[in-house]
Amino acid sequence: FKVIAGGGDVLRFEVPKPMERDKFFWFKDEEFARQTLAGLNPYSIKSVTEWPLKSELDPEIYGPPESAITSELLEAEIGGVTRVDMALREKKLSILDYHDLLLPFVSKVREIKGTALYGSRTLFFLTPEGTLRPLAIELTRPPMDGKPQWKQVFTPCYHSTGCWLWRLAKAHVLAHDSGFHQLVSHWLRTHCVTEPYIIATNRQLSVMHPIYRLLH
């Protein structure tokens, strides 16, 4: 980071190098996929081990558990490089799965005016070049307000309406991913797990204890 000219001690981060070449590079699918490993929360992406995808939530409450993402849809996006069953065996399919985690909170969040929330699943394919490519995003709303469950799959698209729907779907996934990082990976699994030991150590160990000295 660097000091803003004339701003005293106000700091700002350097502009990322790719933005110097293309200020909209963060719209690209390649960057969206790269951020799942090199971005804020690289701990949630995992290999797909079961197919077809299916929710473990109670269908009486949350609606049909079957995912709308099908083998035919994925194979169309892969473009004939491989079949879904082969990709599964070769561990070339990965998923960011916030479907079952977020779906129970959708109704509560939507009670707040001007907000929206969905459960999401995002599928990625490991290309022959060794990079990840997003194939599909499924957004789901459970039954609520007398309406049945709603789910829709979004895929990369190049006409104007479909392109922006795909970008909005990616924005939802990024919100889910960063929110999970802040609340679970960061706060819960870091602060809540370690700080009780730090507090107890500070309160209980003698100031002459070697561990106390190391911590200070």
Give the predicted TM-score (pTM) of the model.
0.84
> Tokens for 89?
């065996």
Q: Give the DSSP letter string of 64-77.
A: --B-S--HHHHHHH
Backbone angles phi, psi at 62, to 5 degrees: -105, 0
Name the 3-class secondary structure at 12: strand
**Sign of the dihedral defined by the CA atoms of residues 126, 127, 130, 132, in that order:** negative
> What's the CATH code, domain 25-187?
3.10.450.60
Q: Are 131 and 35 in contact (CB under 8 A)?
A: no
Please report, for residues 44, 95, 132, 150, the alpha-carbon distance to residue 128 in angstroms, rounded to integers and kept in the order given.
23, 18, 9, 35
- Angle, to 10 degrees, between the axis of helix 29-38 and the axis of helix 160-180? 10
Burial of 1 (0-12, 13-18, 19+ CB in 10 A): exposed
Please report, for residues 42, 121, 134, 139, the alpha-carbon distance to residue 154 in angstroms, rounded to integers and kept in the order given.
23, 10, 10, 8
| Distance from C-alpha of 74 to C-alpha of 168, rounded to nearest angstrom | 20
Per-residue tens of pLDDT for the chain, all 216 residues: 455 555 555 667 777 777 778 778 778 889 899 888 888 888 889 999 999 999 999 999 999 999 999 999 999 998 878 899 999 999 999 999 999 999 999 999 998 998 999 999 999 999 888 889 999 999 999 999 889 999 999 999 888 899 999 999 999 999 999 999 999 989 998 899 988 888 888 888 888 888 888 877
